[in-house]
Amino acid sequence: MPTLENTASHFATPIPEIRRIGVADLNWALAEGWKDFLAKRGDLVVIGLLYPIICLIAAVTTFNDPLLPLFFPLVAGLSIVGPAAASGFYELARRREEGRDASWWHFLDPLNGRSRLPLALLTGGLGVLMIGWLLVAYAIYAVTFGAHAPMRVGDLFGRLFTTQAGWALILLGNFAGLGFAMASLILSVVSFPMVVDTPVDAGRAVRTSLAAVRKNPREVFGWGLRVAALLLLGLIPAAIGLAVVLPWLGYATWHLYTRLVVR
């Protein structure tokens, strides 16, 4: 049974040294991530795994009127849980960096080895964050449109862009979504690559991520803007570009981690 002393000792465990980085490091991480993508394309993985999920979300919400208001929050929420889905790309980037075999079957290695438990805990944390975002998004819809307002696909698009309530929904939703996306970025920018890279518990990985953000707030925010811009481009048209953007960002996040943390 854990004691107070053991708990205190756990939180007192030192975290790795954090480097100070700059804009050049962000650009370098994206460039290195692109090299990884060209060498080990991940678009087929994304098409095979992500697109069925997006199609399922679209089908369930479009044909179920009570869930329709959650369509956009669900799609946007993919960015919140994205770091968990990118763990396989971190592993491939790590193996390529070490000059080891980086065949596609290694994509699932993080789920089978020492990383499994911390990854599960970190993913659960992002899952809670995702649920919180959906609750807030639905609350905003209830305040602006009314919780029991009848809605069809055509009505939703029409009211979003032609009514005062629709613009209020867009502004409040984007503001709240930004907050949840930043929370996800702060908690995960280092923690997920770190548990893939080295034997470490989820708590220490999160503390390292927080320390990296505290030391590089402007750079991490700049990274978040780059991620958001690329995800937006990937959604146009019909989310086809995500097949390129998501693996690219997965690889790039690994390289950003290697610049932020002394390994």
Query: Is 6 contained in some domain?
Result: no
Query: What's the chain look like in SS3?
Result: CCCHHHHHHHHHCCCCCECCCCHHHHHHHHHHHHHHHHHCCCHHHHHHHHHHHHHHHHHHHHCCHHHHHHHHHHHHCHHHHHHHHCHHHHHHHHHHHCCCCCCHHHHHHHHHCCCHHHHHHHHHHHHHHHHHHHHHHHHHHHHHCCCCCCCCHHHHHHHHHHCHHHHHHHHHHHHHHHHHHHHHHHHHCCHHHHHHHCCCCHHHHHHHHHHHHHHCHHHHHHHHHHHHHHHHHHCCCCCCCHHHHHHHHHHHHHHHHHHHECC
For residue 159, is pLDDT > 90? no
For residue 3, is pLDDT > 60? no
- How many domains does the structure of the chain reveal? 1
Query: Is 5 contained in some domain?
Result: no
Query: Is 9 contained in some domain?
Result: no
For residue 172, is pLDDT > 50? yes
Query: Is 12 contained in some domain?
Result: no
Whole-structure pTM over 0.75, yes or no?
Answer: yes
Query: Is 246 contained in some domain?
Result: yes
Query: Is 16 contained in some domain?
Result: no
Query: Is 74 contained in some domain?
Result: yes
Report how far apart, in Å, the C-alpha atoms of 142 and of each of 63, 69, 175 are: 20, 9, 16
Q: What are 28-85's pLDDT values in tens digits? A: 999 999 999 988 876 666 655 665 666 666 666 656 666 677 778 887 787 888 898 8
Containing structural domain, residue 27: 21-260
Residue 52: predicted pLDDT: 63
Q: How many residues are listed for the chain in this entry?
A: 263
Q: What are 70-106's pLDDT values in tens digits? A: 778 887 787 888 898 889 899 999 998 988 887 777 8
Query: Is 231 contained in some domain?
Result: yes
